[in-house]
Amino acid sequence: MSPEKDNIGTVYLVGAGPGDPDLVTVKGQRLLRECDVVVYDHLIPDELIVALPERVRRIYVGKQAGHHSLPQDKLNELLARLAGDGKDVVRLKGGDPFVFGRGAEEAQYLKDRNIPFEVVPGITSGMAAAAYAGVPCTDRRVSSYVTFLTGHKAVEKKYTTVPWEWLAKAQNGTLIIYMGVKELKNNVTRLLDGGMSPDTPVIGIERGTMSTQRTINATLSQIVTKATEANLKPPSLFVVGEAAKFHEQLDWLSGRPLSNMRVMVTRPADQAGTLYADLRSLGAEVLAYPTIATEASPDRSAWSRVKDLKADERWLVFTSENGVRYFLEQWQEVVGDFRKLGDYKIASVGTGTASALDRYGFKADFVPSVATTAELAEQLTECFDIQGATVVRVRGDLADDRVEKRLKSVGASVVPLQVYKTLKVAWTAVAKEKLFKHPPHVIMFTSGSSADGFAANLSDDERERVAAEAVILSIGPITSKIIESHGLKVSLEAGKHNIPAMIEELLEYSQSKSVR
């Protein structure tokens, strides 16, 4: 994107890949950070949307079988109108924009109206889902070419234009059939009638590249029955040809510790990137559903006091990772010189907050043995003589005042310093629909606020539906109490009350479940 915007914006037709958010291109990621508006489809990974900068407008135009939230002609008009208003637009499409994605139609519409556009290719599901199933599209031993084809008739077409009989006679190649679940019986019949061997290997792949990807091995004569028995659903594709037999030898996706497990993460999106990546690396499918967000909310009056502090003994008390981040940002703005923080001793509520300090180059002088605000205040007063000391208690707008009260009771002078506030995130109707369709196996709550936000987004009945079969994982006892106040049963609680301990708890649970 050019540093100086013209009166007209540019539309970027960006391929997001088939489902795994790590498969979006580097250029696609950059454009998502820099654009003004994202217009996105149904199968776009949630992580790519929730991680967008707050200023980026999000417009959902998803299409599902038999239902378009926005007709194509209206979608084309929307893209042109947004660009005409001077907005740089990312039109985020599943897979590749020019492979069964109607990207060419959108590009032509923009071209005809002199709207600048660029095409950013994505990894198409035919290649990616096959690779995630251990199936090579080509292999010099059995397949010299690959053919991508649609197994679904467009609504406006009475008959398919795919030359099934001709394809049935082709030898030494691989057919990859997109969108073929509903028409599977007809498509298979035409291949068999065209002369393709009924013993030809076939693999059906549902939810390709996701941790919950399912595969079905069959022959051409068996695939309809096996797909029906397995209740294979869209989005699915079928790989037909000798290359499909490599699945049993080269399958690499299954078998990871959290494979086939959907984990719902309620942590704020701007803090959850590392957690998302860690869970995916262990094989989990991440459901990115932040229930809260934070934003800077500095107490200017308190900052004036902090800036002019002259006490001989000074403490900073941090009770959250957000507190660390926002405090240091505001310190740079108000004070400027980080060397002056050397006048303070630092207390951290737990190892997670201490790790956040480490990332900025600061070491906590004190971390309590139990990661709660009550224990922090109690143990700090037991381990240090802070009578007469000045303590800056860094906090958000929802924090309680038990730390302040305890420190004042032993003669410390306390400056409550609010640096951020917490906001509830409202889920869209589309997000909730997707959640009910593929509910989580595990729900992770990293704070009481995230549990409150979860409850605010769902009615009692909806909470019961989402959590009915889910394991509830809590970061610690205070969070557990809030979770249970909303009628949910906590199944697992992290021993050390931090994110790494939550992951360890989840791994132990998964291992014990597999052993049983």
d(CA 451, CA 490): 11
User: Catalytic: 1?
Assistant: no
63 a catalytic residue: yes
Contact 347, 323 (CB under 8 A): no
Q: Is the peptide bond before 45 cis (omega within 30 degrees of 0)?
A: no
Instruction: Check: CB of residue 386 under 8 Å from CB of residue 407.
Output: yes
Query: In what side-by-side order are the strands of the sheet with 146-150?
Result: 146-150, 174-178, 236-240, 201-206, 214-219
Strands (E), 371-498: 390-396, 413-424, 442-445, 471-474, 492-493
Active-site entry in 179, 196, 264, 502: 179
CB 426 within 8 A of CB 353: no
Backbone angles phi, psi at 97, to 5 degrees: -60, -30
Q: Is residue 475 a contact partner of residue 497, using CB atoms and an 8 Å limit?
A: yes
CA distance 484 to 500: 23
Give the strands of the sheet with 390-396, arranged side by side.
Answer: 292-296, 413-424, 390-396, 314-318, 344-348
DSSP secondary structure string for all residues of 163-191: -HHHHHH--S-EEEEES-STTHHHHHHHH
Amino acid at 198: P
CA dist 215 and 236 (Å) reads 9
Helix, strand, or coil here: 87?
A: coil
Instruction: Please name which of 93, 92, 171, 174 lies closest in space to residue 133, comparing C-alpha atoms.
Output: 174
**CA distances from residue 445 to 45, 440, 471 in whole angstroms, order as listed:** 21, 13, 11
What six digits make up the tokens of 142? 């059995």
- 127 tagged catalytic: no
Catalytically annotated residues: 41, 63, 179
